[in-house]
Amino acid sequence: MKTRTTTQLVPHTVDGKTRMIPINVDAPAPPRDWDHLVLNGVTGIAAVVLTASVVWSTASIGDLLGRAVIGPAAYGAAIVFDLAWIACMAVEWLARYDEERAALPRKAGNVALVVAMLAIGVHGKVSGFWEVGIVGALVSGLAKGLWTVVLRHQTPLLDERTRAWIRGELADAGAGLALIPVRRQLQRAQAQMDAERSALGPGADHGSADPDRTDESTDDPDAEIFELHPGAVTTKDAVRIAWDAAIRDEDAVIRYVAKATGRAPSPDTVRRYLRALRVGA
C-alpha cells in the first residue's frame, strides 16, 4: 500500500501546559483520481485553444482594421471581438445555477461570436484568401464550442424545485445587500435633518417622531429616552456616551453628537474619537 507523509497536530504537554504541535506521520495515499486528471487535461487543452483563437482573431481583425487606422488602435479594437464573447461565457458560468439568468449572457455571447467570425471572414475575402477567412473564423467557433462543453460538464444537474429554492436564497441575499445603501442614505438624510434642526434651535422641532401613547402622561418623561441638553456636553463626551450605549455606526454617532451638543460636529473629529475608543477597547 502506498503511503504519503502528512503533517498532523497533536497535543504536547510541558510543565503542565499543553500545546498543539505539528508532527510528520505516514498515512495511506488515496488512489489516483483519473477523472479529475482527465478533466484538468481537457481544461488545459481548452485554454490553449482559446489562447490560439484570441491570437488568430486579433491578428486577422487587427490587419483588417489596420487598413483604415493606425496599428495600435486597430489591434486594440480587434481584441474586443473575442473578449466580448469570452466575458459573456464567464458570466454564463457564474449564473450556472439559474437558467433564466444564464440565458441572456449565453445569447449575447453567441451574437458576439458570430460578429467576430464574420469579421475574420471579411478579412479573408479582402485579402484575397476567402478560404483562409472561413477556416480562421471556425477557429473561434471551435474554441467557444469546446469551452461550452467543458463548462456544461462541470455544471451540476439540479431539478426545478432545487433551482427555485436557490433563486429564493439568492433573492433574500440580494435584498439584504440592496438594503445596505438604502440604510446609508436614510442615515445621511436623518443626520442632515438633525443638523438642520440643531442649527435652527429648539423651536424648529414642530413634532415628535415617537409621540407619547394615549395611556402615558404627557408630563412624564419616557423612561427609555435620554434627555439631551444641547451645549451641555462636548463632542468628545457625546462620542463617549454613544460608545457606552453600544452605538458603533459612525453616521448614528454623528447624529447623536449633533443632538447632544446642539451643533453639527466634524465627521473627521468624530471618527478620530471613535478610533481612539476602538483602540482602547
Q: How confident is the model at residue 7 (pLDDT cuts 50, 70, 90)?
A: confident
Q: What is the DSSP string of 14-66?
A: ETTEEEEEEEEEEEEPPPP-HHHHHHHHHHHHHHHHHHHHHHHHHHHHHHHHT
Q: Are residues 190 and 79 in the same domain?
A: no
Is the entire prediction scored with pTM above 0.85?
no
Beta bridge partners of 27: 4
Cα–Cα distances in Å, from 63 out to 163, 173, 222? Answer: 46, 47, 79
Q: Are residues 191 and 145 in the same domain?
A: no
164 occurs within a structural domain? no
1 occurs within a structural domain? no
pLDDT at 224: 44
5 occurs within a structural domain? no
Q: Tell me: the pLDDT tens digits for 230-253?
A: 445 788 888 888 888 888 888 888
Higher pLDDT, 218 or 12: 12
Higher pLDDT, 247 or 41: 41
Q: Tell me: the pLDDT tens digits for 43-57?
A: 999 999 999 999 999
Q: How confident is the model at residue 1 (pLDDT cuts 50, 70, 90)?
A: low
Q: Residue 144's domain spans which residues?
A: 34-155
Instruction: State mean pLDDT over 209-224.
Output: 46
Q: Are residues 43 and 151 in the same domain?
A: yes
pLDDT at 111: 95
Q: Which grid coordinates belong to 141?
A: 467557433
Alpha-helical (H) ranges within 69-98 are 71-94
Q: Are residues 147 and 193 in the same domain?
A: no
Query: How many domains does the chain fold into?
Result: 2
28 occurs within a structural domain? no
Residue that is last in its domain, among 101, 135, 155: 155
Query: What is d(CA 115, CA 216) in angstroms, rounded to the nearest whole number?
Result: 73
Query: What is d(CA 143, CA 117) in angstroms, rounded to the nearest whole number?
Result: 12
Element (H, E) at 146: helix 130-154
Q: What is the average pLDDT score of the chain?
A: 83
Percentage of the chain beyond pLDDT 70 is 88
Q: Are residues 141 and 193 in the same domain?
A: no
pLDDT at 209: 44
27 occurs within a structural domain? no
Pick the range with the lowest mean pLDDT from 17-21, 196-200, 226-230. Answer: 226-230
3 occurs within a structural domain? no
Q: Are residues 141 and 195 in the same domain?
A: no
pLDDT at 112: 94
Instruction: State mean pLDDT over 7-15.
Output: 87
Q: Is 240 exposed, middle or buried (0-12, 13-18, 19+ CB in 10 A)?
A: middle
Q: Are residues 150 and 41 in the same domain?
A: yes
Q: Are residues 58 and 151 in the same domain?
A: yes
Higher pLDDT, 112 or 26: 112
Q: Are residues 139 and 232 in the same domain?
A: no
Q: Are residues 138 and 232 in the same domain?
A: no
136 occurs within a structural domain? yes
138 occurs within a structural domain? yes
pLDDT at 9: 87
